[in-house]
Amino acid sequence: MFPGETEVATAAAELATRLPVPLRPLARVAYNYWWSWDADGPSIFEAISPTRWSACGHNPVRLLAESSTADLARAAVHPALVARIDELVERLEVDLGRSPAAGAASSPDHPVAFMCAEFAIHDSLPIYSGGLGVLAGDILKEASDLAMPTIGIGLLYRTGYFRQRLDTSGGQHEYWIDADPDRMPCVRVREATGEPLILVVPIDGEDVSVGVWRVDVGRVPLYLLDTDQPTNSPVGRWVTSRLYEQNRTIRLAQYAVLGVGGIRLLEALGIEPAVHHLNEGHPALAAAARVARRVAAGDSVTNAWTAVRDEFVFTTHTPVPAGNETYSRKEIQGVLHEIGEETGNLERFMAMGRIDQADRSEPSGMTALALRTSRSANGVSRRHGDVARRIWQPLFNAATPDEVPITHVTNGVHIPTWLAAPMAELLDRHLGEGWRQRADDPATWEPVDDIGGADLWATRCELRRRMITMVEHRAVNDRLRRGEEVDYAAAADTFDPNRLTIGFARRLATYKRLHLLSLQPERAIALLSGDQGIQFVFAGKAYPTDEGAKQIVRELFGLKHRPGVSGRVAFLEDYDMSLAAVLVSGCDVWVNLPRPPLEASGTSGMKAVLNGGLHLSVLDGWWAEAFDGTNGWGIDGAVDSDEGAQDARDAIRLFDLLENEVVPTFSRRDADGLPVEWLRLIRSSLKSNGPRFSATRMVREYTQRIYPRQT
């Protein structure tokens, strides 16, 4: 039992008091995000009041707290619903009651402490921005499913990540919404006395008080640190306000709260982790906090820095040196002065974050610190491992990249979260009982060959139809809100549920090269017309200061009044997990166009292929190891130092593939109207990718290869 469990039970009991007796067990479910990946969980909450469910942003605590007495009373006398609730609660109890995995690298007394700046657990918990958070969330969920004792440590951002609106020219506008933790499925962790647990982290001369919240993710508690405490200065209170805050000083302060606060949290809770997993560099100051402990206990500074390596493993997610942000002496000395001093030697502390430790003018960064203080380091795909070894060769003084001690664990996605219901039902019928637990075994996926073409196609068409309904609804609303003419807005209601639909949605960093689609505007527009025309769905947020990425969206919008575009192309605003889930499952083709070798992994394509979508991507990140010529389409991933030339060439290749392969294959039908070759591609994709890109395979790899100490 991890600390905070009583607080969760108390909050659930309190919520239960306002519910009719048959609904009361649901309060406990509402405080554990396990429901979100149970096959019936979301529809049970929705059934209580579909309008309230959507108005509450799919937050079950708010749903139960805010539903009218009439709605609650109606649900409570609905025998079928009450039976489903009882079964749901039973499934949760069984899941929580399972014994921990035997022979795992961690145990309930010594769990893995997984530390990350963002976690994407569910869209009702807005503390994530994109792929890194989704990966962290998927790891916690899978650790729960595999009963691997694990806890998560992150930050509770009071205003989360920004929300996005576009104007009629495609200009992006950002806004932030304050979250109210008391209405979210999280509870404040308290001392035995009942007082809130408060940690202290010294930042820039202030002893910043840090409160602690607990969110349950199945069997895994996620502890979130929060500086919005009344005793802090206004700046101190602001530290954990926004994810990826633009202000560098605040960002550095966040790293202090996450890393140092994370270690103080573990001490306060009495948890001695089997290993600390630093997911990306942001929590790396945890190592400094552990060094400080050793030095305080009498260890020498040098020994302490060597010894802590035993306690940490590190996953790097960013192949761009510029993305591995660094800070000047002045910045570090300002914000992290006390933390550095506590390690016994501020100079040494700063040197640990440099590539060349002897060069005092070199700025320090969290990635270098994490690499120096971890006994294991890994990238997130085979190719990224290779790229990371080259990037960090100087730090390790290695003669060749092969000697750099960085390996890779390719990312994977949590199947129960990302597999849409119609596809889940189809696979359940064919892959046999308990197939999700065997998802990393190629034999599990063999029966995909026996899925009838008509069944497979019907499922894909249903997924597309579901998505198109959502796209039409959202696109019309988005357009009206932006102030478009009614005719133009209404045109978004004319998407075709039977047309080949291509999706591209992700963070709009410039290296993701959405602009390749507007480099060949005439070909793009020609593809939209005719009986065999296609449709495009886009979504994604540009980082608020990334003018280049914002400009790409405006350029795309420059085509919006061209003939045929208004009813065939939609850019949906405010990309998040729930929108992602519908797009990755409904699109026929999922496109990724990273500038190689900058895509560390990419995971949205894994979600798409799991649902029977086909992937068309530059051979970078995960696709470089996944594409085999029969399971999708690839664009050469060689690196060209002439970026303009590469963009032009890759855009041509993209449209060649769409015109010559994708569209004809989708359009060729047999006598029964089935696209036989397309279905063959889907089967090949499911069989080859299914076993390799699940979180089941990924978490098993971490627990078998990375977490155990190599003795």
Residue 632 touches ligand PLP, criterion: CB under 6 A: no
Write phi, then psi, for 283 (nearest 5 degrees). Answer: -90, 15
- Say how many residues make up the chain: 711
Contact 43, 29 (CB under 8 A): no
Concatenate the DSSP letters of all residues of 237-304 into one string. HHTTSSTT-S-HHHHHHHHHHHHHHHHHHHHHHT---SEEEEESSTTTHHHHHHHHHHHHTT--HHHH
Residue 36 touches ligand PLP, criterion: CB under 6 A: no
444: amino acid identity, one letter: T
Residue 549 touches ligand PLP, criterion: CB under 6 A: no
Residue 415 touches ligand PLP, criterion: CB under 6 A: no
Place of tokens 């530059």: 618
Cβ proximity to ligand PLP: between 261 and 605 the closer is 605
Distance (Å) of CA 492 to CA 373, 467, 484, 580: 53, 13, 11, 19
Q: Which region, judged by CB under 6 A, interacts with ligand PLP, from 68-76, 126-134, 214-222, 471-479?
A: 126-134
Instruction: Give the x-and-dash track for 180-199 against ligand PLP (CB under 6 A).
Output: --------------------
Instruction: Give the x-and-dash track for 489-508 against ligand PLP (CB under 6 A).
Output: -----------------xx-
Q: Which region, judged by CB under 6 A, interacts with ligand PLP, from 496-504, 569-577, 671-679, 682-690?
A: 569-577
Measured torsion, CA atoms of residues 253, 257, 258, 260, in degrees rounded to the nearest 10: 110
Residue 226 touches ligand PLP, criterion: CB under 6 A: no
Cβ proximity to ligand PLP: between 575 and 678 the closer is 575
Q: Closest separation between CB of residue 539 and ligand PLP, Å?
A: 9
Cβ proximity to ligand PLP: between 26 and 591 the closer is 591
> Do you find a cis peptide bond into 363, omega within 30 degrees of 0?
no
Q: Closest separation between CB of residue 126 and ligand PLP, Å?
A: 11
Distance (Å) of CA 672 to CA 422, 454, 457, 612, 668: 22, 9, 11, 20, 11
**Cβ neighbours, 10 Å, residue 20:** 14
Site for ligand PLP in 278-337 (CB under 6 A): none
**Cβ neighbours, 10 Å, residue 237:** 18
Sequence-ordered list of residues with C-beta below 8 angstroms from that of 14, at least 6 positions apart, any chain: none
Q: Closest separation between CB of residue 542 and ligand PLP, Å?
A: 13
Residue 700 touches ligand PLP, criterion: CB under 6 A: no
Contact 514, 593 (CB under 8 A): yes
Q: How big is the chain by its Cα radius of gyration, in Å?
A: 25
Half-sphere exposure of 1 (CA within 13 A, CB side): 7
Half-sphere exposure of 198 (CA within 13 A, CB side): 14
Helix axes 676-689, 453-482, angle to 10 degrees: 90
Q: Closest separation between CB of residue 583 and ligand PLP, Å?
A: 9
Cβ proximity to ligand PLP: between 118 and 484 the closer is 118
Applying CB under 6 A, which of residues 3, 22, 60, 130 lies at the interface with ligand PLP? 130
Q: Closest separation between CB of residue 176 and ligand PLP, Å?
A: 17
Applying CB under 6 A, which of residues 22, 131, 379, 613 lies at the interface with ligand PLP? 131
Cβ proximity to ligand PLP: between 277 and 615 the closer is 615
Residue 603 touches ligand PLP, criterion: CB under 6 A: yes
Number of residues that bind ligand PLP (CB under 6 A): 14
SS3 of residue 106 by DSSP? coil
Cβ proximity to ligand PLP: between 27 and 409 the closer is 409
Return d(Cα 678, Cα 606) in angstroms, integer: 18
Residue 381 touches ligand PLP, criterion: CB under 6 A: no
Q: Closest separation between CB of residue 152 and ligand PLP, Å?
A: 18
Q: Which region, judged by CB under 6 A, interacts with ligand PLP, from 342-350, 473-481, 491-499, 570-578?
A: 570-578
Cβ proximity to ligand PLP: between 67 and 585 the closer is 585
Residue 138 touches ligand PLP, criterion: CB under 6 A: no
Applying CB under 6 A, which of residues 134, 252, 285, 370 lies at the interface with ligand PLP? 134
Q: Closest separation between CB of residue 508 and ligand PLP, Å?
A: 10
Cβ proximity to ligand PLP: between 264 and 607 the closer is 607
Q: Which region, judged by CB under 6 A, interacts with ligand PLP, from 110-118, 323-331, 437-445, 602-610?
A: 602-610
Cβ proximity to ligand PLP: between 343 and 604 the closer is 604
Q: Closest separation between CB of residue 148 and ligand PLP, Å?
A: 22
Concatenate the DSSP letters of all residues of 317-351 into one string. ----GGGS-EE-HHHHHHHSHHHHHHTT-HHHHHH
Residue 602 touches ligand PLP, criterion: CB under 6 A: yes
Residue 417 touches ligand PLP, criterion: CB under 6 A: no
> Residue 202 forms beta bridges with which residues?
207
Q: Closest separation between CB of residue 623 and ligand PLP, Å?
A: 10
Q: Which region, judged by CB under 6 A, interacts with ligand PLP, from 128-136, 362-370, 520-528, 546-554?
A: 128-136
Helix or strand holding residue 634 (H, E): strand 632-635
Applying CB under 6 A, which of residues 406, 577, 624, 651 lies at the interface with ligand PLP? 577
Residue 595 touches ligand PLP, criterion: CB under 6 A: no
Cβ proximity to ligand PLP: between 305 and 622 the closer is 622
Applying CB under 6 A, which of residues 520, 604, 689, 696 lies at the interface with ligand PLP? 604
Contact 408, 379 (CB under 8 A): yes
Applying CB under 6 A, which of residues 440, 478, 484, 576 lies at the interface with ligand PLP? 576
CA-based nearest residue to 683, from 607, 631, 621: 631
Instruction: Give burial (CB, 10 Å; 0-12/13-18/19+) of 649.
Output: middle
Applying CB under 6 A, which of residues 147, 256, 332, 580 lies at the interface with ligand PLP? 580
Contact 611, 584 (CB under 8 A): yes
66: amino acid identity, one letter: E
Cβ proximity to ligand PLP: between 312 and 693 the closer is 693
Eight-state DSSP code of residue 196: B
Return d(Cα 687, Cα 689) in angstroms, integer: 6
Return d(Cα 707, Cα 701) in angstroms, integer: 9
Residues that bind ligand PLP (CB under 6 A): 130-131, 134, 506-507, 575-577, 580, 602-605, 607
